[in-house]
Amino acid sequence: MLPTELQDSFAAARCLVTGGAGFIGSNLSRTLLEFGADVVVLDDFSTGRRDHLPEHPRLRVVETDLSRCPNLEDFTNRVDYVFHMAAQVGNVKSIEAPVSDAETNVVGTVRLIDACRRAAIKRFVYSSSSAIFGEADRLPIEEDHSVSPLSFYALSKLTAEKYVRLAASLLSIPTVSLRYFNVYGTPMEDNEYTGVISIFLRRLQQRQPLVIYGDGTQVRDFVYVDDIVQANLRAACNGRAGSVYNIGTGRSTCIAELAELLIDLTSTRVPVDHAEFRAGEVRRSTADISRAKSELGFSPVHSLRDGLSRVLLCGNSVSARSGH
C-alpha cells in the first residue's frame, strides 16, 4: 500500500502512459485511475490489449505508433507526468527484427522526448531494462556497473536511456530512468517472447516438461509488477532529474529453483528438461536497489513465492519479462 501523500500527488493529475495497454502499463494506468488521475494511453496494440484496461470516464485510449505518430505534442501538452513504457520487448525478437526494434525503442523515444521539450511536465519516467548490463562482473549489480548489451533489444534500451538522461541537461526535461529486472505478474501478453515464468506456467497447465535453456544455474531477480508500479509512482514524485535507478528485489533466484517452486505451488509433477543456452541472454542478474531505496523510498513488498501465488490465483493471466 502506497503512502497517502504519494496517492494524493496523483489526484487530478494529468498522466500520459505510452504502452499503457500492455502488461506493466495497464497495471500502472489502473492504479493512476484509482488515485484520481486523468490518464491518456498511447499504444500500438502490437502486444497490448484494450481489455487490459477498464472503461473509465477519466481514461482515453489512442491507438498509435510513437515512431510515426504525427501529432505527439497534442498528447504531451498540458500533461503533468509522462510514463514511457512503450517498447518492442525481447532479446530473441530483436535479433530477428532489429529494424523494428530500433524504430520502436529508439526513434519512438526520441520523438516523445522532442514532443516534451515545450511541455511543462513534472516528471518523465522512462522504463529501461537490466538487459543493458549484459554479463555481470559482480552481484548485486549497482547502477554504475559497466554495460555490455548482448542483444539489439538491450542496445536499443541503453541508447534510448542515454537520450532520456541527456534530455534532462540539454532540454531541461525532468527525466528519470528505471532499470527493471525480471518483471512478472498479470495480465498476460500472449506471445512467444514472454518470459520464463509465463512459459513455465503454460507448460505446467498443459502438463508438459519444463525446458531450461542451459544448466539452470543462471540467476535472475524476479520482481512483481505491483512493485514496479510503486517504483514508477515514487520516481515521478521523488526521482532526481537525469538519474537512473535499478528496480528489482535484490534477491537472487536460479532458474532451476524457479522451476521447482512452480512445480511445488501448482502441485503438478512434470519432468524438467534442458536445452542449449540461447544467444543474447545473460547468465547472472540481481539488482542492487540501495539507491532506489534511499532516494525514491522504494521498498519491494512481494516475495517470489507471494507474487507467484497471486499470479496463480488469477488463473491463466500471466506475463513475465526478462529485464523488462
Structural element, H or E, at residue 230: helix 225-238
Helix (H, G, I), strand (E, B) or coil at 165: helix
**177 lies in some domain:** yes
Which of 212, 223, 215, 218 minimizes the C-alpha distance to 273? 212
User: Residue 207 gets which letter from DSSP?
Assistant: T
Contact 81, 15 (CB under 8 A): yes
Q: Is residue 227 in some structural domain? A: yes
Q: How far is the CA of 301 from the CAs of 133, 184, 185, 307, in angstroms? A: 25, 14, 14, 9
Let me know: does 128 contact 324? Beta carbons within 8 Å.
yes
**For residue 273, what are the β-bridge partners?**
211
- The enclosing domain of 40 has a CATH number of 3.40.50.720
Residue 256 counted as domain residue? no
The number of distinct structural domains making up the chain is 1
**CB–CB of 17/83 below 8 Å?**
yes
Residues whose CB falls within 8 Å of the CB of residue 298, separated by 6 or more in sequence, listed in order:
230, 231, 234, 245, 247, 289, 292
| Residue found by looking up cell 496517492 in the block | 7
**Are 101 and 152 a contacting pair, CB within 8 Å?**
yes
Residue ranges making up the domain that contains 53: 11-183+223-248
Q: Is 153 a catalytic residue?
A: yes
- DSSP letters of 208-228? --EEEESSS--EE-EEEHHHH
Whole-prediction pTM value?
Answer: 0.94
pLDDT reported for residue 288: 98
Tell me if 200 is assigned to some domain: no
What is the per-residue pLDDT for 147?
97
What DSSP string describes 75-114? HHTT-SEEEE------HHHHHH-HHHHHIIIIIHHHHHHH
Amino acid occupying residue 279: A
Distance (Å, rounded) from C-alpha 45 to C-alpha 248?
27
- Is 279 among the domain residues? no
Of 153, 184, 224, 245, the catalytic one is 153
Q: Return the pLDDT at 119.
A: 93
> Which residue(s) pair with 76 in the sheet?
none
| Residue 246 main-chain phi, psi, to 5 deg | -75, 135
In a domain, 169, yes or no: yes
- pLDDT, residue 27, reads 97
Which residues are registered as beta bridge partners of 81? 15, 123
Q: Which residues contact 147 (CB under 8 A, 6 or more apart)?
A: 132, 133, 134, 158
- Indicate whether 310 belongs to any domain: no
Q: Spell out the per-residue pLDDT of the chain, length 324, in tens.
A: 666 778 899 999 999 999 999 999 999 999 999 999 999 999 999 989 999 999 999 999 999 999 999 999 999 999 999 999 999 888 778 888 899 999 999 999 999 999 999 999 999 999 999 999 999 999 999 999 999 999 999 999 999 999 999 999 999 999 999 999 999 999 865 554 458 899 999 999 999 999 999 999 999 999 999 999 999 999 999 999 999 999 999 999 999 999 999 999 999 999 999 999 877 678 899 999 999 999 999 999 999 999 999 999 886 545 666 556
Handedness of CA 109, 19, 295, 8 (dihedral sign): positive
Question: Residue 65 falls within a domain, yes or no?
Answer: yes
